[in-house]
Amino acid sequence: MKILVCISHVPDTTSKINFTEGDTKFDTNGVQFVINPNDEFGLTRAMWFKEKQGANVTVINVGGADTEPTLRKALAIGADAAIRVNTVPADGFSVAKQLATVIKDGAYDLVIAGRESIDYNGGMVPGMIAGLVGANFVNNCIGLEVEGTNAKVIREIDGGKETVSTNLPLVIGGQKGLVEETDLRIPNMRGIMMARKKPLTVVEPSSISGETSSMSFEKPAPKGAVTLVSADNLDELVSLLHNEAKVI
């Protein structure tokens, strides 16, 4: 089984976010980048298929040379090879089309993507990929088993879970729950050394333009001041809730 895992290069959630050029560009200075968490769950599941069923696992990213450390980390975790589409991602549609071109050429049986990336939270790329390559698609995936050309998938729905059966080729949008958090892997020294020898192929992008662009960014409003009220002073608390907060 040939598996392709889509990897987004995203800011660590602890990074301080700033914007430049009149709040029209994201400032990458001092920002630590990591594998998108939803993608990391998918990569870990792919490693299970590699170890249990002998699957071949390739990771792919659309981005500039600055994203290669993230791909190398995925190789250190255990992926067999990496592909970088050499273009800065413009929007979800252009990313999906670039990925779809590679997927068609590679004849992959299973494509694992995160349901969304934690930077823009668009949540559109996995479904678009499936539509462009003509594969089956299951989103919000929290369980995946493959036997031959058949797949059993568990996905999260409002108020519960749904188990579906489908055939390969398949695209899934994975998320937390696809594997346990305790199963996520930290590259060891042997994996890091081996990753240096694994192939990282850079392919030139197709001539695809984005359909949308970001006009400006705005940070959330700062939190208001906190007023502390003694537990013994219920009259003051009621007065503040009534006169200032106006919630009663």
Read off the pLDDT of residues 82-101 as tens digits, 9 standing for 90 and up: 999 999 888 899 999 999 99
**C-alpha distances in Å from residue 149, one per residue of 78, 109, 136, 145:** 23, 8, 12, 11
Question: How many domains does one find in the chain?
Answer: 1
- Assign 3-class secondary structure to 169-223: CEEEEECCCCCCHHHCCCCCHHHHHHHCCCCEEEECCCCCCCCCCCCCCCCCCCC
DSSP per-residue string spanning 109-129: SEEEEESS-TTT----HHHHH
Give the C-alpha separation, 122 to 25, whole Å.
17
Percentage of the chain exceeding pLDDT 70: 100
Residue 225 inside a domain? The answer is no
- Which tokens is 75 given? 């190789």
20 lies in a domain? yes
At 143, which CATH number? 3.40.50.620
Angle between helices 92-106 and 125-133 (to 10 degrees): 40
Give 1's Cβ-side CA count (13 Å radius): 28
- The string of pLDDT tens digits covering residues 108-133 is 999 999 999 988 888 999 999 999 99
248 vs 240: CA distance, rounded Å? 9
pLDDT above 80 (res 209): no
Does residue 33 lie within any of the structural domains?
yes
Is residue 27 one of the residues assigned to a domain? yes
Residue 168 lies in a domain: yes
Prediction pTM value: 0.86
> Is there a domain that residue 241 lies in?
no
| 239 domain residue, yes or no | no
Residue 243 within a domain: no
Range of the domain at 155: 2-220
